[in-house]
Amino acid sequence: MLQSKKVLVLDLDDDLPDSLLDACTGQFSFLKLNPDSFVPDQLGGTLAPLIFINFPQIDPEGLRLCNQIRSALSGSTGYILIALPEKSLAVCEHVSTLHCDDFLLKPFSACQLIWRLNLALLNMEQVSSLRQEREFFRQAVMQEEQLSRKLLERQQLLKGSLVSSVRKNQELKTVHRRLQKQATYDVLTGLLNRRSLNDRLELEIAKSLSRHQSLCGLMIDIDYFKSVNDSFGHQAGDMVLSELGKLMHRYLRRHDHAGRYGGEEFFIVLPDSVLEDSLAIAGRIRTAIAETDLDWQGHTITVTVSIGLAEYSVKETMAQWINHIDVALYRAKDKGRNRICYFSDDQLLDYSSNPEATSAQR
């Protein structure tokens, strides 16, 4: 259990028997505060306190005390449980005005008190866990800011209402799935982001080694992409990146993976694919991109891509493999762009979409 089982007790009615608290000490430890010397502001430095207040009745002074304690707990996952006489039932129907999280009607048993305290701990753990998840994803994903605000609003809503545990868990799972998707995919292109792409590369290399299957990778770079931004603006450049991401998906097999490597560069992982088949896939992608006209505010934008490709070898590391692909890509750009170059048997070769020409090169 993440939260402490220590409970701060403020007995304002002076009718809370020690025997009742003693019956709960098997699960909780209680620290009685002196009502005469108690100062709410001293709770500001307390770590996630659980406070149990025994009221003789609810009056303006009691409301002010609850409000002061709630203000002192601002920013923490503190929890306030109050006990009221049964005659205060009408007041309890508007518990949100009491600035507390839950209440008990007197008289109550030790079993009832234990049950409510355990419910309070569960609530505090869920709020604390939710905050930790939000912080983790905020650091991992820059695009998470909008979702983080929604998450914070949901936290505040959950903390301020008595929502059932089942409903809270369902909402947490929904947010978690959304954040996982945000942490995995590039928002602009819909492809894997750089971190997820690296994870996929490591996984596919391990599978290739264990299953003795071929593995190819290709890197795609948009030719003269800066001129698109300079001529039509960065929003037009974003549109080009987004459309090319969709186009690549249409030419990949079910078990292939495409990701945004950085800027205008993309990386495609082709598991269980020999060099010849991978070159054919790269050729279809290059041709499709070159033949696609993109409309931007009445202007037609046409781009081409340069592609570098290499088959993974068991003798090399992932970094060496990617470096071979990168070298092949720069060879394609040096040779005039809008073409494919690949590594084979430690040689840099040019690829032609004509199978006979390719066979002659090899």
Q: Are 58 and 91 in contact (CB under 8 A)?
A: yes
Q: Is residue 135 part of a domain?
A: no
Q: How many domains in the chain? A: 3
pLDDT at 207: 94
Q: Are residues 21 and 120 both part of a single domain? A: yes
Q: What pLDDT is stored for residue 16 in this prediction? A: 87
Q: Spell out the alpha helix ranges (H) of 214-317.
A: 225-232, 234-250, 275-290
Question: Regarding beta strands 29-33 and 6-11, do their DSSP bridges make them parallel or antiparallel, or are they unpaired?
Answer: parallel
**Residue 2: its pLDDT value, please?**
44
The verdict on pTM exceeding 0.85 is: no
Mean pLDDT for all residues in the chain? 84
The reported pLDDT for the residue numbered 318 is 96
In a domain, 268, yes or no: yes
Best CA proximity match to 218, nearest among 361, 328, 351:
328
Q: Please state whether the peptide bond connecting residue 107 to the residue before it is cis, i.e. omega within 30 degrees of 0.
A: yes
Q: Check whether residue 102 and residue 169 sit in a common domain.
A: no
Query: Which residues are the active-site residues?
Result: 264
- What domain range is 28 assigned to? 6-124
User: Distance (Å, rounded) from C-alpha 347 to C-alpha 54?
Assistant: 82
Same domain? 307 vs 257: yes
Question: 10-residue block means of pLDDT along the chain (362 residues)?
Answer: 70 86 86 79 64 83 79 74 78 62 86 89 84 80 70 74 68 71 85 94 95 96 96 96 94 94 95 95 96 95 97 95 96 96 92 50 38
Among left, alpha and beta (phi > 0; psi -120 to 50; other), residue 125 is: alpha
> Residue 132 domain-assigned?
no
pLDDT for the residue 86: 77
Which H/E stretch holds residue 127?
Answer: helix 110-140
Q: Which of 100, 124, 148 is the last residue of a domain?
A: 124
